[in-house]
Structure 1
């Protein structure tokens, strides 16, 4: 599945004023349909570039709140949906004119004025909600990770390809940052030569992991619809160990540290190096009970290079595991918060997760480096607004499912590898199978609870 032979068009034009040709006839000015808006044959609204996008938020108590805040100054927030009235209360109160829902299915059925949907629910609900919205012709902005299974990522990428008028974006906001483009330009310039290996690490998880399912019975809060929270996941009794926020650590609901931060940290080298899904993956971790993700893990990927010779190796570390300290770091420690280290034939490039800007190592190399001219246009706005402008025909979304699907597939393969640790698993992306461990292919897709489909 090649998706980066040509980098995505990163151009984002400034919103222009649409000047319609007018025909003066008996004092009447006739404006083109694309300016006035209106409806398409399928009933969805035609959005003029000068219009505001009608946005619905699904899952608004956590990151969804931030997404809506970024969109509210320029767009209309017309519908809000969350299964937890208490957790979502501040957002409901902030947008009093938006219609309220608990069930996204009822929202999509009842409210026809929605142009775009922001999905920021727990990870296990991303696939079913996003596909439902796309099938109705709604634009979608979906928080990372795109999905919790490889099959779901493939399906959303397929739907996006079949519906080119639907604008898609995964919420890995770092993809809109200038630093991501800077790294691309430096690597393309040959600043560190040919990149041979990459080390990626994070301080996640910052939520509980490595636990067994709770056994005690707890009453479901009156403000929470537990059945809707579970959605397609297996049924089990409610416990506050699952939600809010702590769902990330549970296999049924989240994608652990790799799913959470991989969409940010793996994204930069994945884009800059023009990678496709890996040819092999191998994992090791602290104890993994298949209920909750391990406290710490390490995943090694191999990617085919253009010359098809020695593969590029990328290693992921989480839970406090750090990569070997490069000599070029000097007396300073490897930042525990996380980062990406590119190792090339002519030097190294380091980008810390928080704080410092990308820099070449050793420092003398950075000091003497003649930075290349910008070759990738900067976005100049938030990731959310980039999506909204693309929905209105102003530029393109920078992290569409065409790109985000294969990126997410790569992350999720590292999670599947936890089920057979210490074995180098060969991945055939064309057939979507582990060729030397067919027993793991069952983890590429999940069985949905009765009544739930994608």
Structure 2
């Protein structure tokens, strides 16, 4: 689908017209629950390997990755801690990886290996939706790392697919399963801080390169050994230097064409993309907001039942590349969301800050309390403040006298005994429910990505959003950024 097609047919897309229904348990390709779950890992060199370690009690029957050399090295790293102490989970994962079937193409894996019941997806952001959609249509349960999708449209498609297939779904924002997250909800619901009309959310991300130009080959007259080239890669950060120029053939173990996947642009391989630094590049990631929004926006979004915003406005430092077609995200961004009244709850304005930007210190905060520069959230209530760190950790109340009242709030949210990953695996086997299914994760992801839509539309331009029809009402240009162009054969 092209952006032009999307703008003229957005009402159809909002209704999920591209989805082929399949009704649940017992439907075509659906696996019945059993004592152990047969799991496939797609993308195991980074956080996917960390997730895989949580499945020691399950069967990891397949691992799909475009760079198995990297995966093997990371698997070995995880067998011991920094001081050389053996790590039981890492050693178990090494055994599972050794015995699992190996693939580079997820489509081949899904077609050839019928015993797969569930798929965990931890690839770069741009490929999440394509892999998840294929797995769900094949009747597989899916766990997708955050951010769930690359575009708003993709989030809607995956939500509809989850409903139509009935498979168990989970997004990988592990803080959503924490006791602290539930405590925050209970305090807010009990009115400990009163009505909340303002929320501040911040993170120190990106901790990778952004605001860069597209990497390019060395100029023809470039002298690698010239004295004025002695800075590279010494005194200047190597990642930034590599982002300027260089001639880099595709490593023999890496399938770069498959790495590009749905990317419509013909991007040449460069080591600044793979591994990890892809997050800052528009073709592959969604920047700091996509990386950490699911861990930070999650808690006020859940506790305040925010739903969809009606307007979004964003400003930032410069993008990398031309303003009409940037290639890397800004180093620092602010986003301002306005959410309408929800029942008896008042409207809420939520402010996002990244790249080292932080909110002004609330006057209600005691002088000896510091804002954690890594990240956090402040709920500004009529009676006081609720502040927590990234992932919902260490929730605190101010003035501190509110703690006595909070201690009397009854527990109303069931605590999750297992890890976020095992919560999903158990739900796949019919034990309990997944804590962050796509029915919740897709709207949360949409909120995050709307911040980038506003930023792409123009600095300081407030977009007005009609969530029911998935459409920006005051900018046709903004509607183009709700969807993406796909390489042939990759459209959802």
Q: Secondary structure at the match of 2:357?
A: coil
**Would you say the 8 A contact 2:202–2:352 is kept in 1?**
yes
Q: How does 1:31-430 map to 2 (within 5 A)?
A: 40=26, 42-48=28-34, 51-71=35-55, 73-90=56-73, 91=75, 94=95, 95-164=97-166, 166-216=167-217, 217-233=247-263, 234-289=265-320, 290-307=326-343, 311-327=347-363, 328-353=365-390, 357-367=394-404, 369-419=406-456, 420-430=458-468
Q: Distance in 1 between matches of 2:29 and 2:302?
A: 37
Q: Secondary structure at the match of 2:211?
A: coil
**Would you say the 8 A contact 2:175–2:391 is kept in 1?**
no
Correspondence 1:437 to 2:475 = yes
- Deviation of 1:275 (Å): 1.3
Counterparts in 2 of 1:265 and 1:309: CA distance versus 1, 3 Å:
closer
Q: Secondary structure at the match of 2:425?
A: helix
Q: Distance in 1 between matches of 2:391 and 2:438?
A: 26
Q: Distance in 2 between matches of 1:93 and 1:357?
A: 33
Q: Distance in 1 between matches of 2:203 and 2:380?
A: 18
- Deviation of 1:371 (Å): 3.1
| Unaligned stretches of 5+ residues in structure 1 | 1-38
Counterparts in 2 of 1:98 and 1:298: CA distance versus 1, 3 Å:
same
- Deviation of 1:439 (Å): 1.1
**Would you say the 8 A contact 2:192–2:402 is kept in 1?**
no
- Deviation of 1:354 (Å): 7.2
Deviations 1:251-299 (CA, angstroms, capped at 9, x unpaired):
1101111001000100001000011111110000001242111000000
- Deviation of 1:333 (Å): 3.2
Q: Distance in 1 between matches of 2:292 and 2:188?
A: 22
- Deviation of 1:62 (Å): 0.3
Q: Distance in 2 between matches of 1:356 and 1:100?
A: 37
Q: Secondary structure at the match of 2:99?
A: coil
- Deviation of 1:369 (Å): 4.2
Counterparts in 2 of 1:354 and 1:176: CA distance versus 1, 3 Å:
closer
The two structures have a TM-score, normalised by structure 1, of 0.88
Q: Secondary structure at the match of 2:107?
A: helix
Q: Secondary structure at the match of 2:61?
A: strand
- Deviation of 1:86 (Å): 1.7
- Deviation of 1:368 (Å): 5.7
| Unaligned stretches of 5+ residues in structure 2 | 1-24, 76-92, 218-246, 321-325
State the match for 2:81 in structure 1. none
Q: Distance in 2 between matches of 1:275 and 1:449?
A: 35
- Deviation of 1:310 (Å): 5.8
Q: Secondary structure at the match of 1:363?
A: coil
Counterparts in 2 of 1:40 and 1:276: CA distance versus 1, 3 Å:
closer
Q: Distance in 1 between matches of 2:387 and 2:307?
A: 22
**Would you say the 8 A contact 2:305–2:342 is kept in 1?**
no
Q: Secondary structure at the match of 1:133?
A: helix
Q: Distance in 2 between matches of 1:102 and 1:355?
A: 36
| Aligned residues: CA RMSD | 1.7
Q: Distance in 1 between matches of 2:416 and 2:30?
A: 28
Deviations 1:303-362 (CA, angstroms, capped at 9, x unpaired):
011258962100000000000102213144322111000001111100022796211012
**Would you say the 8 A contact 1:186–1:371 is kept in 2?**
no
Q: Secondary structure at the match of 2:207?
A: coil
Counterparts in 2 of 1:225 and 1:117: CA distance versus 1, 3 Å:
same
Q: How many residues align?
A: 412
Counterparts in 2 of 1:186 and 1:244: CA distance versus 1, 3 Å:
same
**Would you say the 8 A contact 1:337–1:354 is kept in 2?**
no
Q: Distance in 1 between matches of 2:145 and 2:471?
A: 26
Q: Distance in 1 between matches of 2:120 and 2:430?
A: 18
- Deviation of 1:236 (Å): 1.2
Q: Secondary structure at the match of 1:450?
A: coil
Q: Distance in 1 between matches of 2:342 and 2:117?
A: 40
Q: Distance in 2 between matches of 1:201 and 1:322?
A: 6
- Deviation of 1:88 (Å): 1.0
**Would you say the 8 A contact 1:150–1:413 is kept in 2?**
yes
Structure 1, 249-258 or 362-371: larger mean CA deviation = 362-371
Deviations 1:223-265 (CA, angstroms, capped at 9, x unpaired):
1111111101122110001110000001110111100100010
